[in-house]
Amino acid sequence: MRRPFIAGNWKMHLTKAESIDLAKALVDLAPSGASADVAVSPPFVYLDAVAAVVHGTSIGLAAQNLSEKPNGALTGEISAAMLRDLGCRYVIVGHSERRQFLGEIDSLVFEKANAALDAGMTPIVCVGETLEQRRAERTAEVIASQFGGSLAGMDADRIERVVIAYEPVWAIGTGVVATPQQAQDVHADLRKLLTSRYNAAIAGTVRIQYGGSVKPDNAVELLNQTDIDGALVGGASLNADSFWRIVTAAPKGHD
């Protein structure tokens, strides 16, 4: 059974004090033995402060990005080893905002995902189509291309350690959300791609999150879809109560 995974991406929001307060509020809400894995992803500059709050709790720490290089004269970059040293268990890779605004391409996403795996972290590898691509009925083509370039080159033992996040670009931060059936269809396509590239057993193991304006009022229906194994939450993760309502909306898991 695939255990749900709910991750909060705080993006470029909050001050240090606000980040600490939000982390403390989530720790207070988090029961032992929760039915979902939970992680928060603060900005780089607050990772250490948030790590101190969530250390020893059921809430994991995630970074929002990393360098594909292990070290070097790369001003402003952050290595996987540095993130691991701070206590990060997860790292978001290839988020659509980085693909769209910072020019990250599939081959770079692939390198970053492998750098995370090499450091013992779980990469959350994002894929998703734009509104223009969906309107042109190219969603399946785009997802297959991103999967092929960002993930399919991995060996079987590595892909099993990856989380995939489907995040339609047109639904991120817009208030618009894919219908549960639209989201399920793409998740099912991703699972078919995993089956074709690897096998059914691996496809049944890899967790695939949905990301795109997930909120408490749509979380139950989304998270109960057969192939949706959690959520990568943006704006709703900046409020402890709304984020935790999404966490508790997750079912115990999918076979």
Q: CA–CA distance from 152 to each of 105, 127, 155, 204 (Å)?
A: 14, 13, 8, 16
Distance (Å) of CA 14 to CA 11, 43, 52, 184? 9, 8, 17, 32
Which one is catalytic: 68, 95, 104, 129? 95
Identified catalytic residue from 104, 129, 167, 254: 167
Q: What 8-state DSSP symbol labels residue 252? A: S
Q: What letter represents residue 50's amino acid?
A: V
Look up 95 and say whether it is catalytic: yes
Q: Look-up: residue for tokens 């692939």?
A: 110
The amino acid sitting at 72 is G
Catalytic residues: 95, 167
